[in-house]
């Protein structure tokens, strides 16, 4: 085993042991590696939910008949709406919606029964709070569908409509919102933690002044850098396991693809995030500056990645920018592997881009590291 | 009072000398406004839709035409023989499969069109389902010799934002996030910096009370925060077409109090932590996560599950966002937002009290 012996006797090994010892002594680093990722995954995974259900509906029922009550119960049947107040008149109902206590108001006219009994269509008025544009759109879609179903129920002679759509949701049949967000948030957490932890360890040597000493040793720039990166890499892979375990057991993600592939590609992304961190550290002098400049990097990286808001809805310019966002490619990989169970060949473009990013970031940081030498 | 003001003056002078913090204070909020304001859109337009039309009759083609006439979908090739392949590759978000017997079935009164939707993006999966159902309904009504059933027709009116512009929802929400995170971060850094540089000891030893000291700092950073608020709102006015829908009094008063609360939060974090990194990270992580995720900024507050929903009650951004959305979209005024300045003011006051208590313990008594 001459290779191993050579490794164990090498300068690189000694440097790495020094880094590992330093990390293990650094309580704050261990904290940064465990606590924020857990909290971020939990809060992002639980709090982000675009569900449209139990919308508070106010009713002003001027008909007040069996038929009108039947219509109201049809509205609340599938739990999209819940009736949270009955008003005696339209004005009071409108006021409740204006003030923001109700998401929607329904006005059933006094002629409701008469119209239906005499074979006319009865019009009901619905006002929807449009401040939340997205919810308002989905809610009005549901309202139309429910009214249609109710119409069908009133006319038993109509068996079924001439065209019926049968919708199947693939990959996430229950439309569980955490299934959409958590695979993306794993990437977000790796970005934040990886860049923070690596920039903090780099900058500390600068702060304390030991970086000059290290640079003066016979070790080459890449050796110092690699010795710093390798233990961080291993620790961050622990974060990947932590995040996957939380995804599996807290959020019940299906992990349909090959887990080993997911793990390896996450490792590739961890390299990218470490690269971002080193770049941040070479750009700034103090730790405070690192955290501030990380805002400039991390906010756009996260926002353009599609982890939180879908890329498809962005305006063209931002859609274009997102191609240059490494996190976008990792989120695509993570979602495909966790939800779709995709095979490697579908992911090749994304993997290639991540490789490119990892290589470029590493090259930049090595060269900037060297320039500090002079 | 004089001592407080001169303290504030000194603080402002110090602030304007530090280039990095000035840049941070003025550029970062605008940068975040632009990114969030343009990049956060929940509802997708131009959804790629693939159609597998086995019938290929005039009727089925009319149906397909209707689907694309909504301007919501753009046609995408199937990419193979299976209706799933385009979805698996991600080139289509939905596939509509029209059976070979479509026109015959329609004539006989019942046919089923299969719609396969990529459920990954939960929200847009719902949007797609709804619009395909809506189109199908219109299509049914346009069919000849269909006896239109008598039933209930909802006349839906969308209030406040009839065009359902998402920017009107997102941009006022950004105010809540940005105007919380940055004022608090600046205030926290300024307290901690004095601790780190040792000047805090001089203050402890002087006869300036901790409340006076914090008030002086607070006034200075409150003024900086007001400048930030004006900048952010002016840019939103110019770029996103945000306009006041009601009298300016609730917004002015509410913003003033909100900024004061944000500064108090920063002073509190500054009093608690010993170093600048902790201060920056504390305000960045605690302030950002809560005002971003637990404030109803992106999705409805009601969707936050139980233990977290309790926590969201303590997040001032959640109240302030109600106020900004009212001022810029809803336009109801005081009846809808009367409680906002009270709750936010109370939280801010408590934070300030605790901060000055913490520092008081450090004070040297004579």
CA B279 vs. chain centroid, Å, equals 24
* Average pLDDT for A184-188: 94
Q: Give the one of B127, B157, B329 whose C-beta lies nearest to A137's C-beta.
A: B127
Average pLDDT, chain A: 87
* A344 shares a domain with A274: yes
Question: What is the model's pLDDT at position A124?
Answer: 92
Question: What is the model's pLDDT at position A7?
Answer: 77
Chain A positions in Cβ-Cβ contact with residue B145 (cut-off 8 Å): none
Domain range enclosing A336: 6-48+174-373
Question: What is the model's pLDDT at position B255?
Answer: 97
Instruction: Answer yes or no: are the C-beta atoms of B50 and B77 closer than 8 Å.
Output: yes
**How far off is chain B from A8, nearest CA to CA, in Å?**
36
Task: Name the more confident of A371 and A264.
Answer: A264
Locate A87 and state its tokens.
Answer: 């008003």
Chain A positions in Cβ-Cβ contact with residue B289 (cut-off 8 Å): 39-40, 43
* A335 shares a domain with A292: yes
Instruction: Locate the chain B residue with the closest alpha carbon to A292.
Output: B24
* A113 shares a domain with A20: no
Beta carbons of A163 and B139 less than 8 Å apart:
yes
**Residue of A197, A258, A182, A206 whose CA lies nearest to A233:** A197
Question: What is the model's pLDDT at position A207?
Answer: 64
Q: Is A339 helix (H, G, I), strand (E, B) or coil?
A: helix
- Please report, in tens digits, the pLDDT of each residue of chain B (366 residues total): 788 888 888 888 888 887 777 877 788 899 999 999 998 888 888 899 999 999 999 999 999 999 999 888 999 988 777 888 888 888 899 999 999 999 888 888 788 899 999 988 899 999 999 999 989 988 888 887 666 667 788 888 888 988 888 899 999 999 999 999 989 988 888 888 888 787 777 777 777 788 888 999 999 999 999 999 999 999 999 999 899 988 899 999 999 999 999 999 999 998 888 776 677 777 777 888 888 899 999 998 888 988 888 999 999 999 999 999 999 998 888 988 999 999 999 999 999 999 988 888 776 655
Q: What are phi and psi of B116, to 5 degrees?
A: -105, 120
CA A85 vs. chain centroid, Å, equals 35
User: Number of residue pairs across A and B with CB atoms under 8 Å?
Assistant: 324
Instruction: Locate the chain B residue with the closest alpha carbon to A318.
Output: B39
Q: How far apart are CA A19 and CA A311, in angstroms?
A: 39
Mark which residues 90-109 of B lie under 8 Å from A by CB. Answer: 90, 93, 105-106, 109
Confidence of residue A372 (pLDDT cuts 50, 70, 90): low
Question: What is the model's pLDDT at position A296?
Answer: 80
* A305 shares a domain with A357: yes
* A179 shares a domain with A82: no
Asked, for residue A334, whether it belongs to a domain, the answer is yes
Question: What is the model's pLDDT at position B364?
Answer: 62
CA B35 vs. chain centroid, Å, equals 12
Question: What is the model's pLDDT at position B262?
Answer: 96
Which of A154, A185, A201 represents a domain boundary (last residue)? Answer: A154
Asked, for residue A161, whether it belongs to a domain, the answer is no
* Average pLDDT for A147-173: 81
Which of A122, A154, A186 represents a domain boundary (last residue)? Answer: A154
Asked, for residue A366, whether it belongs to a domain, the answer is yes
Asked, for residue A76, whether it belongs to a domain, the answer is yes
H or E element: which one contains A106? strand A104-108
Question: What is the model's pLDDT at position B308?
Answer: 87
* A16 shares a domain with A96: no
Question: What is the model's pLDDT at position B71?
Answer: 81
Looking at the predicted structure, is the pLDDT value of residue A199 above 90? no
Beta carbons of B304 and A304 less than 8 Å apart:
no
* A121 shares a domain with A40: no
Question: What is the model's pLDDT at position A287?
Answer: 67
Give CA separation, A344 vs A180, A230, A262, in Å: 20, 26, 10
Question: What is the model's pLDDT at position A125?
Answer: 92
Question: What is the model's pLDDT at position A158?
Answer: 65
* Strand bridging mode A122-129 / A104-108: antiparallel
> Does the CA dihedral A181-A182-A186-A189 come out positive or negative?
positive
Side-by-side strand order, sheet with B47-53 = A163-170, B111-118, B94-98, B47-53, B73-75
Beta carbons of B125 and A175 less than 8 Å apart:
yes
Give CA separation, B69 vs A186, B65, B73, B135, B194, in Å: 38, 6, 8, 9, 64
- What confidence tens digit (pLDDT) does each residue in A251-268 have? 999 999 999 999 999 999
Confidence of residue A294 (pLDDT cuts 50, 70, 90): confident
Chain B positions in Cβ-Cβ contact with residue A54 (cut-off 8 Å): 302
Q: How much is the ipTM here?
A: 0.86
**How far off is chain A from B353, nearest CA to CA, in Å?**
27
* A202 shares a domain with A307: yes
Looking at the predicted structure, is the pLDDT value of residue A221 above 80? no
Looking at the predicted structure, is the pLDDT value of residue A316 above 80? yes
Looking at the predicted structure, is the pLDDT value of residue A88 above 90? no
Locate A320 and state its tokens.
Answer: 């274009």
**Residue to test with chain B: of A170, A256, A340, most B Cβ within 10 A:** A170
Asked, for residue A166, whether it belongs to a domain, the answer is no
Question: What is the model's pLDDT at position B177?
Answer: 94
Q: How far apart are CA A366 and CA A222, in angstroms?
A: 6
Chain B positions in Cβ-Cβ contact with residue A288 (cut-off 8 Å): 189, 276-277, 280
The torsion angle over the Cα atoms of residues B271, B276, B277 and B283, rounded to 10 degrees, is 50
Beta carbons of A166 and B115 less than 8 Å apart:
yes
Asked, for residue A168, whether it belongs to a domain, the answer is no
* A141 shares a domain with A94: yes
* Strand bridging mode B94-98 / B111-118: antiparallel
Q: How far apart are CA A38 and CA A35, in angstroms?
A: 5
CATH code, domain with A117: 3.40.1710.10
* A279 shares a domain with A355: yes
CA A360 vs. chain centroid, Å, equals 26
The 3-state secondary structure of A108-154 reads ECCCHHHHHHCCCCEEEEEEEECCCHHHHHHHHHHHHHHHHHHHHHH
- What confidence tens digit (pLDDT) does each residue in A20-39 have? 888 888 787 888 888 889 99
Q: HSE on the CB side for B201, CA within 13 Å? A: 3
A65 class by beta-carbon count within 10 Å (0-12 exposed, 13-18 middle, 19+ buried): middle
Question: What is the model's pLDDT at position B89?
Answer: 81
Domains of chain B: residue spans and CATH: 2-40+163-360 (no CATH), 47-142 (3.40.1710.10)
* A43 shares a domain with A72: no
Question: What is the model's pLDDT at position A185?
Answer: 94
Total structural domains within chain A: 2
Q: What are phi and psi of A144, to 5 degrees?
A: -60, -45
**Residue of A103, A101, A170 whose CA lies nearest to A138:** A103
Mark which residues 146-175 of B lie under 8 Å from A by CB. Answer: 146, 149-162, 164-166, 168-169
Asked, for residue A165, whether it belongs to a domain, the answer is no
Q: B134 touching A, CB under 8 A?
A: yes
* A278 shares a domain with A189: yes
Asked, for residue A295, whether it belongs to a domain, the answer is yes
Least confident span in A216-220, A240-244, B319-323 = A216-220
């Amino acid at each position: 085993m001459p290779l191993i012996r050579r490794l164990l006797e090498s300068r690189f090994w000694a440097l790495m042991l020094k880094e590992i010892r330093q990390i293990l002594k650094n309580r704050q680093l261990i904290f940064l590696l465990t606590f924020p990722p857990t909290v971020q995954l939990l809060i992002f995974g639980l709090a982000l939910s675009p569900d449209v259900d139990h919308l508070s509906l106010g009713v002003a029922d001027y008909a007040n008949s069996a038929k009108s009550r039947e219509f109201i119960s049809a509205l609340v049947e599938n739990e999209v709406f819940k009736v949270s107040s009955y008003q005696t008149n339209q004005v009071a109902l409108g006021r409740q919606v204006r003030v923001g206590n109700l998401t929607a108001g329904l006005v059933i006219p006094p002629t409701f029964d008469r119209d239906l009994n005499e074979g006319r269509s009865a019009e009901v008025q619905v006002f929807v709070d449009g401040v939340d544009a997205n919810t308002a759109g989905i809610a009005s879609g549901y309202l139309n569908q429910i009214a249609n179903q109710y119409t069908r129920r009133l006319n038993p002679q109509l068996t079924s409509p001439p065209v019926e759509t049968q919708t199947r949701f693939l990959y996430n049949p229950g439309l569980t919102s955490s299934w959409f967000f958590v695979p993306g948030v794993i990437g977000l957490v790796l970005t934040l933690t990886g860049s923070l932890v690596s920039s903090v360890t780099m900058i500390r040597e600068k702060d304390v002044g030991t970086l000059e000493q290290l640079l003066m040793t016979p070790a080459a720039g890449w050796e110092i850098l690699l010795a710093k990166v390798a233990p961080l890499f291993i620790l961050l892979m622990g974060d990947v396991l932590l995040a996957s375990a939380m995804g599996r057991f807290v959020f019940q993600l299906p992990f349909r693809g090959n887990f080993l592939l997911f793990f390896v590609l996450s490792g590739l992304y961890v390299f990218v995030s470490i690269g971002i961190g080193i770049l941040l550290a070479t750009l700034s002098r103090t730790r405070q500056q690192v955290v501030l400049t990380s805002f400039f990097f991390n906010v756009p990286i996260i926002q353009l990645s599609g982890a939180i808001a879908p890329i498809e809805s962005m305006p063209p310019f931002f859609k274009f920018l997102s191609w240059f966002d490494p996190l976008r490619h990792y989120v695509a990989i993570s979602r495909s592997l966790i939800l779709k169970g995709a095979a490697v060949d579908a992911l090749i473009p994304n993997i290639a881009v991540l490789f490119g990013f990892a290589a470029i970031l590493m090259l930049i940081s090595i060269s900037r590291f060297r320039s500090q030498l002079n | 009072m004089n001592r407080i003001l001169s303290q504030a003056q000194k603080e402002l002078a110090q602030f304007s000398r530090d280039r990095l913090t000035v840049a941070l204070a003025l550029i970062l909020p605008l940068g975040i406004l632009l990114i969030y304001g343009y990049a956060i859109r929940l509802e997708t337009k131009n959804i790629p839709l693939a159609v597998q039309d086995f019938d290929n009759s005039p009727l089925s083609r009319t149906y397909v035409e209707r689907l694309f006439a909504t301007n919501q979908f753009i046609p995408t090739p199937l990419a193979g023989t299976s209706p799933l392949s385009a979805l698996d590759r991600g080139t289509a978000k939905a596939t509509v499969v029209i059976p070979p017997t479509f026109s015959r079935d329609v004539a006989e009164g019942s046919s089923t069109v299969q719609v396969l939707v990529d459920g990954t993006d939960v929200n847009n999966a719902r949007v797609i389902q709804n619009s395909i159902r809506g189109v199908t309904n219109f299509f049914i009504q346009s069919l000849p010799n269909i006896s239109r059933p008598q039933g209930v027709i909802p006349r839906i009116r969308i209030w406040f934002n009839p065009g359902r512009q998402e920017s009107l929802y997102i941009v006022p929400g950004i105010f809540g996030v940005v105007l919380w995170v940055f004022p608090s971060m600046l205030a926290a850094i300024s307290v901690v910096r004095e601790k780190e540089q040792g000047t805090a000891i001089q203050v402890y030893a002087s006869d300036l009370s901790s409340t006076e000291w914090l008030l002086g700092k607070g006034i200075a950073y409150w003024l900086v925060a007001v400048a930030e608020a004006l900048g952010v709102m002016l840019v939103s006015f110019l770029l996103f077409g945000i306009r006041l829908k009601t009298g300016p009094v609730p917004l002015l008063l509410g913003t003033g109090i909100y900024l004061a609360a944000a500064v108090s939060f920063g002073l509190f974090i500054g009093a608690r932590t010993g170093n600048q990194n902790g201060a920056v990270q504390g305000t960045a992580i605690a302030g950002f996560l809560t005002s971003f995720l637990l404030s109803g900024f992106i999705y409805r507050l009601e969707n936050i599950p139980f233990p977290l929903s309790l926590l969201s009650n303590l997040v001032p951004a959640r109240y302030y966002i109600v106020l900004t959305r009212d001022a810029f979209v809803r336009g109801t005024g005081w009846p809808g937002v009367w409680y906002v300045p009270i709750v936010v003011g109370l939280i801010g006051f408590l934070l300030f009290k605790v901060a000055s208590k913490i520092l008081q313990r450090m004070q040297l008594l004579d």
